[in-house]
Structure 1
């Protein structure tokens, strides 16, 4: 039996009640790989959203509804990116 303590990984999603989810892992299991894939997708979506927001801000024809929707999406993306950054800092 291996008594080496395992690190708790804060996963890039929350539970049904909005509470954080953790995984006790050595970082090589299937759930760790899924978490890595989701983090990568979240970061990629945030980057795409930043480019889209820049285009909307440069377009004088952008409507308030378009800007409000984009801001709503940016809030969700920034929440994800912030969670990822905090998780990586905690893992150091």
Structure 2
């Protein structure tokens, strides 16, 4: 987690896919709570996609187009989760 007066990496990108940061002076402020909420949604989405991927891999009838779509969604979810982990200090920035 971030400490007071440390910038928090937000779970969304700015223009040009540049990282966005928030001052953590008020961890209960609107933007901090919004970031927490979005991170929770991203984690839930990744969990759901992981389950969907396991089912698709077990299903011999899954089409190549469906697998490509799933791989694209998994790539986006992994990108989001890495950002969350970085924000929480689990991966060096």
Aligned to 1:12, what secondary structure does the other structure show? strand
Do residues 66 (structure 1) and 58 (structure 2) align?
no
Q: Distance in 1 between matches of 2:24 and 2:62?
A: 46
1:25 to partner: Cα distance: 2.3
Please list the CA deviations of residues 2-27 of structure 1 after superposition, one character each: whole Å capped at 9, or x if unmatched: xxx61211101100210000011221
Task: Note the residue ranges of structure 1 that are not aligned, 5 or more in a row.
Answer: none
CA root-mean-square deviation: 1.2
Q: What is the aligned length?
A: 86
Greater radius of gyration (CA): 1
Q: Scaled by the length of structure 1, what TM-score is found?
A: 0.89
Q: Which runs of 4+ in 1 moved over 4 A?
A: none
Q: Scaled by the length of structure 2, what TM-score is found?
A: 0.88
Q: Distance in 1 between matches of 2:31 and 2:87?
A: 16
